[in-house]
Amino acid sequence: MVPTAGRAIVMGCDAAQDPARLRRQIGVVFQAQSVDLKLTAYENLWHQGHLYGLHGAALKKRVGEILARVGLADRAKERVETFSGGMQRRIELAKGLLHHPGVLLLDEPTTGLDPGARRDLWQYLQMLRDEEQVSVLVTTHLMEEAERCDRLAIMNEGNLVALGTPAELKSEIGGDVIMLDAAHDAGLLAEHIRARFHVEAAVLGNQVRIEREGGHRFVPDVVEAFPGEIQAISVSKPALEDVFIHRTGHKFWSEEREASSEETKKETKKKRR
């Protein structure tokens, strides 16, 4: 695709002017599956090596190395269709790393993985960073994964809204985060709180959100001031989702989180039956 504006420079390579040289410098793990399920793990990597000009003894050695690196050397001759989702994801990762890239790009790499497989993948990515000095760029909709990054960019509707380390971004929140569940009208409750306490109060659905130092001391005052208007209260230290709300004015949501929520609702209904 030809860019309509701007430039992308990766390891000194211009993505538009010299794409062939750039492709030799980067590895890519797509969100959608790219492994051939009818081939063995070894065969998937063998054909991937040919795409990068690798062949013969050098390719055979590298395939063996990378299979060992992702913990699948003992499954090299088995068809990928027999692998679990986590193991298939590791083959995807091996394909992206086969040609020794300096930069690895991953598009939501943990999609569809169980918690154990997600943890293993992130441990491996940290090892790549620390031991092999590979720069790892990840896109994710999961805030707990974003917390693991050294540097984080938060996007909203195609625009960059925040950039920095997770700690730096969370430090911009003014004290504790207080969430009030309104008994009736969240908008009216927010107006009352602003007038009485002279604080910023944002309305998010049926909740009122306040950032304030010493939140645990503020809560008794607000409950006493508006009896019967508040159903529930939570006080927490700032998280990355609070940074998103602070910068955009609305909650963070994703299809994956929505799907997870729907699955939880289904399981709850089953238990009730």
* Rounded mean pLDDT, 213-218: 90
| Stretch(es) of the chain classified as CATH 3.30.70.260 | 174-237
Q: What pLDDT is attached to residue 241? A: 87
Q: What pLDDT is attached to residue 109? A: 86
* Rounded mean pLDDT, 196-201: 92
Q: What pLDDT is attached to residue 261? A: 46
**Looking at the predicted structure, is the pLDDT value of residue 272 above 60?**
no
State the Cα–Cα distance between residues 225 and 193, nearest whole angstrom: 9
Q: What pLDDT is attached to residue 150? A: 94
User: Tens digits of per-residue pLDDT, 242-262?
Assistant: 888 888 888 776 544 454 445
User: Tens digits of per-residue pLDDT, 162-198?
Assistant: 999 999 998 888 789 999 999 999 999 999 999 999 9
User: Tens digits of per-residue pLDDT, 11-43?
Assistant: 999 999 999 999 889 999 988 888 999 999 999
Q: What CATH number should be reported for the domain whose range is 174-237? A: 3.30.70.260
* Rounded mean pLDDT, 46-56: 93
| Stretch(es) of the chain classified as CATH 3.40.50.300 | 20-137
* Rounded mean pLDDT, 264-273: 50
State the Cα–Cα distance between residues 179 and 194, nearest whole angstrom: 14
Output the six-digit token pair for 185.
């009208």
Q: What CATH number should be reported for the domain whose range is 20-137? A: 3.40.50.300
Q: pLDDT confidence of 80, banded at 50, 70, 90?
A: very high
User: Tens digits of per-residue pLDDT, 89-143?
Assistant: 889 999 999 999 999 999 998 887 788 888 888 888 898 899 889 999 999 988 8
State the Cα–Cα distance between residues 42 and 48, nearest whole angstrom: 10
Q: What pLDDT is attached to residue 253? A: 65
Q: In what order do the strands lie in the sheet with 135-139?
A: 26-29, 103-107, 135-139
State the Cα–Cα distance between residues 159 and 157, nearest whole angstrom: 6
Q: What pLDDT is attached to residue 273? A: 53
CA atoms 231, 144, 137, 46: torsion sign = negative
